[in-house]
Amino acid sequence: MNRALVVVDVQESFRARPLWADTLNPGIAGSVNRLVALARAAGDLVVWVLHTEPGSGNPFDPESGHVRLFEELGEPLPGEPLLRKTSHNAFTTTNLQQILTGHGVSELRVCGIRAEQCVETTARVASDLGYAVTFVSDATTTDPLGRFSAADLLERTEAVLRDRFARIATVAELEAEAAVGPEKVAASAG
């Protein structure tokens, strides 16, 4: 099974907004970097997605200078697509599905900013398109919304995705699976 990691909206636009002070996981870049390293080591495709709102005058307007990956993430490697979307999910206004199909991808890992919005919506659409989806919870963050805390929103997102649209996992769980995987293969071959 070919796999891809889709990193959704881990961009400076969010840190340029006052709400960033209340985000659940301000250190998300560290978790995302671990997940990207894991994907690259496994030979998985890494796809970067940025949200844009052209002409809005807000931090998501490309003219603002904030529509760029967090500096701590570095630049995508050659062959890693960097897509710009204008919808909540990463499929509708990009060629993501075409890219995934071209690489023979059937399994996705998704992470990013706004757990209950862009990351969840991307996971749901991916599931509907037939991809096996893993939502990586600790490489995902959000901020409070109305009376709901950021932690409440992440918990709710995990609950509605779990076993219906996605498997829920942490970076550490995926790292452990990767470390155990080759040993299991070797043991069963012996």
Residue 56: both structure tokens together: 């809005």
- Residue 180 is predicted with a pLDDT of 78
Instruction: State mean pLDDT over 30-39.
Output: 97
Q: 150, 175 in Cβ contact below 8 A?
A: no
Q: pLDDT > 70: what percent of the chain?
A: 94
pTM to 2 decimals? 0.93
Q: Where does the pLDDT of residue 190 fall: very low under 50, low under 70, confident under 90, or very high at 90 and above? A: very low
Q: Is the model's pLDDT at 159 over the cut of 80?
A: yes
Range of 72's domain? Answer: 2-189
CATH number at residue 11: 3.40.50.850
Average pLDDT, rounded, for the chain: 94
Active site residue 118: yes
Q: Where does the pLDDT of residue 181 fall: very low under 50, low under 70, confident under 90, or very high at 90 and above? A: low
The secondary structure of residue 72, as a DSSP letter, is G
Cα separation, 55 vs 34, whole angstroms: 34
Q: 134, 174 in Cβ contact below 8 A?
A: yes
Domain count, the chain: 1
- List, for residues 160-175, the tens digit of each pLDDT value: 999 999 999 999 999 9
Q: Which of 118, 139, 153, 174 is catalytic?
A: 118
Q: Where does the pLDDT of residue 1 fall: very low under 50, low under 70, confident under 90, or very high at 90 and above? A: low
Residue from 174, 173, 172, 162 nearest 5 by CA: 174
- Residue 189 is predicted with a pLDDT of 42
Which residue did the predictor score with more confidence, 182 or 152?
152
- Residue 79 is predicted with a pLDDT of 96
- Residue 115 is predicted with a pLDDT of 97
Q: Is the model's pLDDT at 183 over the cut of 80?
A: no
- Residue 187 is predicted with a pLDDT of 45
Other residues' Cβ atoms within 10 Å of the Cβ of residue 170: 14
Instruction: State mean pLDDT over 70-90.
Output: 97
Cα separation, 152 vs 146, whole angstroms: 11
